[in-house]
Amino acid sequence: MEPLVDIRDVSFAYGAVRALTNVSLRLEPGTVGIVGNNGAGKSTLLRILLGLLHPTSGGGTVLGCDVRQSSSQLRGLVGYMPEAHAVVPLLKGVEFVALSGDLYGMPKRDARRRAHEVLNYVGLGELRYRRLDEYSTGNLQRLKLAAALVHDPKLLLLDEPTNGLDPAGRTAMLRTIEDLIAATGKSVILCTHLLADIERICKQVVVMHQGTVARAGTLDALRQHTASRYALRWQGPREPFVAALQAAQVSLDFPPEHAAVPSTEQHALAVVPTGWHTAQFFELAGRSEAVVVELRPEQEDLEQLFFRVTHGN
């Protein structure tokens, strides 16, 4: 199968400022999350993948199109949802999406028809005749998604699609993206600071750090697997249960404490000795008047992975 992205030794500099240094990346079709702190080079990479910027050196292909030459053809295959506000003032929702289609080179009537269709799909059916000035943040994000979908692209580049959304809006947006992937098999490259979004949607992850790709691959392969670690949450007094666990050779690790209010709930990370039986947790708890309400084998999440890679801890 043709790779989604295949670039080699790509560098880019804005004048004297180096934004990307020798980035080589090969991604399979599917869902990809890009994470990195501000200034790590994420948006520069996106713009190069989109053919908007030409790399200072290096090159490669996206969906089989050369990123240096066929940028117009490439953008016909890619739908881009920018992070910036970037709407045309005074237009109505459906006009904006149709404009996006026109700009992608669709015939005018198809663009118009298709605009209605994608607006319905992203859940803006009732708002499509309103002016953009009246749209809330959440609706603007959906509108921008619709504008990126209008020409039925093979690949979606989403830059911070859930930024500024409340939980309901965020869930709805993520559901739409998930549904889209499931129904059509489109590839998605998702760029966001909200790592939970990436964990939920993406199979592959690219961690960027200071203009280079620090790690790339499937999330499962990148995770550090540690057996015999459990996240433990219990209700009831803290000390007796902790003491009992420590007496049983379980070493405990506590998350940073909150300043003021003592809570009725405690939680800790427990590393258990070999030959440990999980029923012992409940047994010890019962003896120290605690009630275990959560027990999870600990797996490294994306946030921990990210800090391990970028901060070395």
User: Which residue lies nearer to another protein by CB, 163 or 249?
Assistant: 163
User: Which residue lies nearer to another protein by CB, 22 or 278?
Assistant: 278
The least CB distance from residue 11 to another protein, in Å, is 15
The least CB distance from residue 147 to another protein, in Å, is 8
Task: Evaluate whether 67 touches 20 at the Cβ level (below 8 Å).
Answer: no
Q: Give the strand order in the sheet containing 31-35.
A: 78-81, 155-159, 187-191, 31-35, 204-209, 212-218
User: Which residue lies nearer to another protein by CB, 24 or 267?
Assistant: 267
User: Which residue lies nearer to another protein by CB, 24 or 280?
Assistant: 280
Q: Which residue has the tokens 């009831």?
A: 236
Q: x-or-dash pattern for another protein, window 107-136, by CB under 8 A?
A: xxxx---x--x--xx--------------x
191-230 residues in contact with another protein (CB under 8 A) are 193-196
Biggest CA-to-CA distance, the chain: 75
Q: For residue 240, give both structure tokens.
A: 């007796």
The least CB distance from residue 136 to another protein, in Å, is 6
The least CB distance from residue 106 to another protein, in Å, is 6
Q: x-or-dash pattern for another protein, window 282-301, by CB under 8 A?
A: xx-xx----xxxxxxx----
User: Which residue lies nearer to another protein by CB, 121 or 218?
Assistant: 121
Distance CA 224, CA 299 (A): 8
237-266 residues in contact with another protein (CB under 8 A) are 256, 258-261, 263-265
Distance CA 230, CA 233 (A): 10
Q: DSSP state, 272?
A: P
User: Which residue lies nearer to another protein by CB, 26 or 254?
Assistant: 254
Q: Which residue has the tokens 């599917």?
A: 30
Task: Evaluate whether 186 touches 178 at the Cβ level (below 8 Å).
Answer: no
Distance CA 196, CA 202 (A): 10
Q: x-or-dash pattern for another protein, window 19-58, by CB under 8 A?
A: ----------------xxxxx----------x-xx-----
The least CB distance from residue 20 to another protein, in Å, is 14
Q: For residue 170, give both structure tokens.
A: 């965020």
The least CB distance from residue 42 to another protein, in Å, is 10
Among 75, 128, 142, 229, binds another protein (CB under 8 A): 75
Closest-CA residue to 34 (of 181, 270, 217): 217
The least CB distance from residue 177 to another protein, in Å, is 11
Q: For residue 105, give both structure tokens.
A: 């080179």
Residue 102 lies near another protein (rule: CB under 8 A): yes
The least CB distance from residue 221 to another protein, in Å, is 21
**Rounded (5°) CA angle 181-185-189:** 60
β 78-81/155-159 pair status = parallel
Residues that bind another protein (rule: CB under 8 A) add up to a total of 89
Residue 273 lies near another protein (rule: CB under 8 A): no
Task: Evaluate whether 94 touches 115 at the Cβ level (below 8 Å).
Answer: yes
Among 22, 137, 246, 249, binds another protein (CB under 8 A): 137
The least CB distance from residue 150 to another protein, in Å, is 8
Task: Evaluate whether 228 touches 272 at the Cβ level (below 8 Å).
Answer: yes
Classify residue 88 as exposed, middle or buried by CB count within 10 Å of its CB (0-12, 13-18, 19+): exposed
Residue 305 lies near another protein (rule: CB under 8 A): no
The secondary element (H helix, E strand) that includes residue 9 is: strand 5-14
